[in-house]
Structure 1
Amino acid sequence: MTGRDLARQVSSAVGEPARPVAQHAEWRWATTQAQLVLNRGDLGTILRFYRRVHGLNQTDLGALLGYDKTYVSALELGKRRIDDVPSLRHIATQLQLPPHTLGVTDPADADHRAMIQFGASTVRLAEIARQTGHASEAVSELWPLVARLEARLEDGHAERVVLHLLGRARIGLGVALGNVLPEERLGTAATWTLKGLSLAAYTDDPDFTGHALRMHGNECRKAGLRGAAVDRLTRAVAFAPTDAARAAALPLLARAAGVLGNAPLFDQTMQQADRLLDHVTHTSLFNPFALHEIRLRGLADTGRVDVAIQLTESSPAPTLTVAPQWRVIELVTVAGIMLAAHDLHGATTALDAAVSEATAQRLPHQLQRVIRTAEGRLPEVQGTAADALERLRSEMAA
């Protein structure tokens, strides 16, 4: 996929994620309202909801189920009941619902529920793996889960729990790919997070929507879609219902604003982040060490290298909350500022350490940052980083 293709996809998602359309009416089962209907387990209520979503009358629904209009009416009014398992399973199949919503349990449905439980654990463990410097392992875990969930969606099963899990798995896969892919392929990562964002409207979940906006916005920034990144992340900050949610979005918005060269937005965002530091629990992204790196890079990106130079000596020590890749990111950023201050020795030391860590963690994007930073000034470091990058690419190709 080219950058232009991705830009077209991203531009189509501007504003709120697309609402369900007629041919995706079955996706209405994923909304909060549908979940309330399904939780009641009342067949009559489920049938009425199905007709309303799909624009059917009782005759149409009867034709789908193999019943006459009078029988459908009696079921909806509660004048007739269906208790036999084969009939309930038939209705569940025709309405593309998990059988357990109608009180039927069978091996296939039990397998589905086990998959959902396993899938939720997989997404959580993949995120832990990514944050601890094992993004390639996260990709390996998420690929088969996404494939299995998408196959279920293709079969017409779009219940809320499936869409919610698939959305998070798609986003997790995109973010993990954003760590392990080289720059020229980062559009793939943004595409996967966009696929996750596209499900937000169907789940009607504010927390998921905010998460999707944050992750997609950050991958847009890495893919070079700067305006789209600021748009998504600005919406994520505005959408955040709590200080913790704002703290998750503000550092990403600051990075995007810096890359865009928007100094006022960068300064405003960093000020908001600073005010929250003592009021929210620190995470792998929201902590003094990560914010220091974001501040240094943003100052340099907005033409204030002299201020950044003054701050390079005051870097907070990494703590257990800091993800390993952030140490690599900070080393490259500091090296660039040292070069601006004509400190070749300090820059060489920082970049050598960055190459070693980026190779160990399999971070091609950071090796490409090293190459750009060293270009024309530190040819030996540039060559070492280029060799390491080539080895990683060969391993990925294999």
Structure 2
Amino acid sequence: MDGGGCQACGVTVGRYATEPVCPTCAATTRPSSRPIHTTPIASAIWLWAAPEAATAIATRDLPTILRAYRRINGLNQIALAELLGYDKSYVSMIETGRRAISDVASRRHIAARLGLPPHVLGVTGVDDAEYRAMLQFGDSTVRLAEIARQSGHAVEAVNELWPLVARLEARAAEGHMERDSLILLAQARVALGVSLGTVLPEESLSSAARWTGQAVKIAAHLDAPAFYAHTLRMHGNELRKAGHAAAGVARQEQSLSLAANPADQGSALAFLCRATGELGHGEQFDIALQRYRHLLERNAYSGLLFQPFALREIEIRGLLGTGRLAEASRLVKVTAGTPSAPQWRTIERVTSGEVFAAINEPDAAADAFRTAIESAEHHRLPHQIQRTIRATVKTGMHELTAEAHEALQRIRSLLAPRRNL
């Protein structure tokens, strides 16, 4: 299907859904497939902040996972014991293999405290009713997570997507992956990667690019050009954010060649502008920007990127990146529409602050940076704060640099393991 309506109630179903009915109607007509609700897990951000986490989880070995958790999060055995509600000596015995945890209740307890789906520790199997229900409602999980991310709640989106991705990954690892499950896995991978790309600090953004890249690998073999174009767009943007702008340009050009509607073409062009601007490629940036503006003038606005506010911010940053400060300074004082999502206001304020600082308007720059810091902290956007730090250091705004460092530290604390769950 391609985003049509539910045959039962008419509501729009997922763009890449293969079932003709929405999850709600499916549950109504097939009550035996009702989902099993589980206790919400703790923050799953730690799982994706370092490749070591994925390696440890793949072993399904509790001692290995505990040691990896401590290393990644900088905890000693006392802190881990407090998190789990155990004695320090008991945790030590578990880690060294002197004490085996075999009962289901204890393993489920540990999984919940560490933010792991229970099946990672062998509590559930991939063919149980919970898995089948997760498949049935998986498309809605992805769409709701996307809504959460676009509304400024990317951490919550990660926590929603992680159990789905982990279960599907386990299924795929055992060689049991039907086409619908494979499509859902690709959707979940790209959504997880983009959400991670929103909440992880710059030094960890390669994790986001890896997950969107995994989605591209699946999409390339699904004979679904629109979805393939989508995964290429999102992967290209995460590559750019991770410091690989040239690779990002290649992905956006490939996505643009596959995009079939103005909104998708506009999104690819927006990302292409961003990447070419960062590379300082003025001519390539101008061509992409002209095509983007041409599309926007002739079609209805749609999505986060295909609208005037995004166009203005992308143009200002591209002009700054290609050495045209005078043009950027004129545009920064002109308003255009409203942001499509909270994070876009933050992004725009950082970009505007950089321009104001460059043209020696310190008061306007300080106002923009301060607004950006407050918004970035509220919506947990660490790399926007890191952009602000670089800009304020460059311009000698030491007070704002200190404020930004403090906000960044508070965000890191929020994403750290919680010891008293």
Query: Could you tell me which residue of structure 2 aligns to residue 295 of structure 1?
Result: 315
Query: Could you tell me which residue of structure 2 aligns to residue 358 of structure 1?
Result: 376
Summarize the alignment of residues 246-325 of structure 1 with structure 2, pairs less than 5 Å apart. 246-277=265-296, 278-318=298-338, 322-325=340-343
C-alpha distance in structure 2 between counterparts of 1:191 and 1:345, whole Å: 40
Q: CA deviation at 1:111?
A: 5.8
Q: CA deviation at 1:226?
A: 1.2
CA contact (8 A) 1:285 1:323 kept: no
Query: Could you tell me which residue of structure 2 aligns to residue 78 of structure 1?
Result: none
Query: Please, which of 94, 100, 114 is the counterpart of residue 133 of structure 2?
Result: 114
Summarize the alignment of residues 80-91 of structure 1 with structure 2, pairs less than 5 Å apart. none
In the alignment, structure 1 residue 385 sits paired with structure 2 residue 417: no
In the alignment, structure 1 residue 368 sits paired with structure 2 residue 386: yes
Aligned partner of residue 303 in structure 2, secondary structure: coil
C-alpha distance in structure 1 between counterparts of 2:131 and 2:238, whole Å: 31
Aligned partner of residue 396 in structure 2, secondary structure: coil
C-alpha distance in structure 1 between counterparts of 2:270 and 2:315, whole Å: 9
C-alpha distance in structure 1 between counterparts of 2:345 and 2:353, whole Å: 12
CA contact (8 A) 2:263 2:303 kept: no
Q: CA deviation at 1:236?
A: 0.6
TM-score, scaled relative to structure 2: 0.67
Q: CA deviation at 1:286?
A: 1.2
Q: CA deviation at 1:189?
A: 0.5
C-alpha distance in structure 2 between counterparts of 1:109 and 1:371, whole Å: 49
**Structure 1 residues 262 and 116, CA, compared in 2 at 3 Å: closer, same or farther?**
same
**Structure 1 residues 275 and 157, CA, compared in 2 at 3 Å: closer, same or farther?**
same
Query: Could you tell me which residue of structure 2 aligns to residue 196 of structure 1?
Result: 215
TM-score, scaled relative to structure 1: 0.71
C-alpha distance in structure 2 between counterparts of 1:371 and 1:292, whole Å: 23
C-alpha distance in structure 2 between counterparts of 1:397 and 1:256, whole Å: 31
Deviation digits for residues 366-387 of structure 1, max 9, x if unmatched? 0001101111421101100001
Q: CA deviation at 1:110?
A: 7.0
Q: CA deviation at 1:113?
A: 4.7
CA contact (8 A) 2:131 2:167 kept: no
Deviation digits for residues 146-166 of structure 1, max 9, x if unmatched? 001111112222211111110
C-alpha distance in structure 2 between counterparts of 1:109 and 1:248, whole Å: 39
C-alpha distance in structure 2 between counterparts of 1:226 and 1:189, whole Å: 15
CA contact (8 A) 1:247 1:280 kept: no
Query: Could you tell me which residue of structure 2 aligns to residue 222 of structure 1?
Result: 241
Unmatched segments (≥5 aa) in structure 1: 1-31, 33-107
Question: Identity of counterpart residues, as a percentage?
Answer: 50
Q: Match of 1:367, as an amino acid?
A: I
CA contact (8 A) 2:205 2:238 kept: yes
Summarize the alignment of residues 31-180 of structure 1 with structure 2, pairs less than 5 Å apart. 113-180=132-199
Q: Number of residues paired by the alignment?
A: 291
In the alignment, structure 1 residue 330 sits paired with structure 2 residue 353: no
Q: Match of 1:343, as an amino acid?
A: E
Deviation digits for residues 263-292 of structure 1, max 9, x if unmatched? 111111111111111313322221100110
Deviation digits for residues 259-318 of structure 1, max 9, x if unmatched? 111111111111111111131332222110011000000000001011100111112131
Query: Please, which of 226, 247, 255 is the counterpart of residue 207 of structure 1?
Result: 226
- The structure where helix makes up a greater share of residues is 1
Q: CA deviation at 1:225?
A: 0.5
- Which of structures 1 and 2 has the bigger CA Rg? 1
